[in-house]
Amino acid sequence: MLNYINWDPINKFNLGKGISIHIYSLMFIISFIIGWYIMKLIYKIDNVPKEYLDSLFIYTVLGTIIGARLGQVFFYDLSYFYDHWIEAILPIRENPNHYLLGRIKGYEFIGYRGLSSHGATIGIIFSSFFYSKKILKKSFFWICDRLCIVVTLAAVFIRIGNFFNSEIVGKPSIPILPWSVKFIQMDTGYGDIIPRHPTQIYESIIYFCIFLLLWFLYKKKNIKKDIGYISGIFFIILWSSRFLLEFIKEPQGEEMIHLFNLNTGQWLSIPCIIFGILIFYLSRINFFS
């Protein structure tokens, strides 16, 4: 009897005419849809006119996709995208045996399969800053306190998508645990196909717990007056958990930084944690109020 899980999933749905949708992409879409409804509820609670919601959705989508893609290019796979620059910009790649949309020979649609959560964070910070100044006319950290709730839940779905794609896998599980996973479709660049830690599921569970905590804090009336409080907790807890989980993850691509036994994900998480501590402190002295 196996004491681990064999994981050989269907990771995409074929729609015909050379078009397919990956479960990862589907999880991305679901995260935006659910996020939109949660922000709609939050804006209703805070008596914010609903016409501001559509602009927030556009700013957040653009900030997420552009930031996540550029983060993947520059932080993890710069050498690859240097020779495949079209994939860095568009969700297609050259393939002489395929027709894009059944018409354009030599290309196939692959979606944005390489996305960096650190890059997405940077992108959302910039897009939220411009949204708060140009559209909402409120404090930047006022919108951050609410948007980070949605972002945390979105991260749950994204990691589930990673699990279906058998990517961002964990290191070999020693000893082999009952929930260890043998990723049958795993990229052999990670090493041998053997039972590993399902770090994507670990992250999903942790992020969902953080989401529940942030939602609880948001619902407490006195917390709403401390602008930046929820954002500070978000940056501290989420990126601290990411920092620790990196110890049991395999390296991703050709990582930009690897110093003192810390990988790129950990070095990029450290500024986020420090940023969170600073925001948390300033919120406690009502600096943003």
- Dist. CA 116–CA 98, nearest whole Å: 28
pLDDT band at 67 (very low <50, low <70, confident <90, very high): confident
- Dist. CA 55–CA 35, nearest whole Å: 14
Percent pLDDT > 90 in the chain is 46
pLDDT tens for 250-260 read 887 666 567 77
* Residue 241, pLDDT score: 97
When pLDDT is averaged across residues 137-151 and rounded to a whole number, the result is 93
pLDDT at 279 over 90: yes
When pLDDT is averaged across residues 57-66 and rounded to a whole number, the result is 90
pLDDT at 150 over 60: yes
Which runs of consecutive H residues, i.e. helices, occur in 84-192? Answer: 85-89, 117-131, 140-164
34 or 115: which carries more pLDDT confidence?
Answer: 34
pLDDT at 275 over 90: yes
Residues 6+ apart with CB under 8 A from 131: 55, 56, 59, 60, 143
154 or 97: which carries more pLDDT confidence?
Answer: 154
- Dist. CA 231–CA 276, nearest whole Å: 7
* Residue 75, pLDDT score: 73
Element (H, E) at 97: strand 92-100
Domain ranges within the chain, ordered by starting residue? 5-77+114-284
pLDDT tens for 82-137 read 666 676 666 666 666 665 655 556 666 666 666 778 788 889 999 999 999 989 98
140 or 71: which carries more pLDDT confidence?
Answer: 140
* Residue 163, pLDDT score: 92
- Dist. CA 266–CA 237, nearest whole Å: 14
- When the pLDDT of each residue in the chain is averaged and rounded to a whole number, the result is 85
pLDDT at 145 over 60: yes
pLDDT at 17 over 90: no
* Residue 216, pLDDT score: 94
Percent pLDDT > 70 in the chain is 81
Tally the C-alpha atoms within 13 A of residue 36's C-alpha that lie toward its C-beta. 15
- Dist. CA 158–CA 152, nearest whole Å: 10
284 or 259: which carries more pLDDT confidence?
Answer: 284
Strand pairing report for 104-109 and 92-100: antiparallel
pLDDT band at 80 (very low <50, low <70, confident <90, very high): low
pLDDT tens for 177-186 read 899 999 988 8
